[in-house]
Homo-oligomer: A and B are copies of this chain.
Amino acid sequence: MTVSESAPDLGRTTWAIAEGYIPGQSHGPAPEMESHEAACMLNVGPREAHVAITIYFEDREPAGPYPVVVPPRRTLHLRFNELTDPEPIPRDTGYASVIRSDAPIVIQHTRLDSRQAENALLSTIAYPGPQ
C-alpha cells in the first residue's frame, strides 16, 4: 500500500479562518523573520487540489477568489502577504478567509508577529466546514 492510497480522503473541502491580520512593520531579517500570516495546506491524496481563497473584510465586499494549487502528496505553506492577484491584501487591516478545494485537504493557520523586537507565534487548525 502506497502513502497516497492509504489516506485518499484525509481532510475537508471547505475551511474557514476567522482571524487575519498582516502587520505593516517587521523586525529581524527577511524573509524568515518577516511578519507573516500563513495558511499551511496539506494534500495527502493522489490528485492535485485546486484551491480558491476568498478574503472577507469588515467594511467592504470580499476579495478573490485567489487560485492556488497544492500538488498531490505535498504541503504548501501559503503566506497571505504574497497573494497579489486579483489584489494584494491590505496591511494593518483585519480580515478573514474561506478556503475551498476540489479535493480534501487539511489547513492550519499560523502567524508570526515581529512588530516588536521579539517575535510571537500563534497557530490553530482552521474551522472545517461540511464535507
Q: Which residues of A contact B (CB under 8 A)?
A: 3, 6-7, 9-11, 14, 16-21, 28, 32-33, 38, 40-42, 44, 54, 56-59, 61-62, 64, 73-77, 92, 94-96, 98, 100, 106-111, 113, 115-130
Contact = CB atoms under 8 A, between A and B. Distances in A.
Contact of A75 (B40, B42, B94, B118): B94
B116 A28 contact: yes
B41 A16 contact: no
A58 B43 CA distance: 10
Contacts of A92: 32
A119 B122 contact: no
Contact of A108 (B108, B115, B124): B124
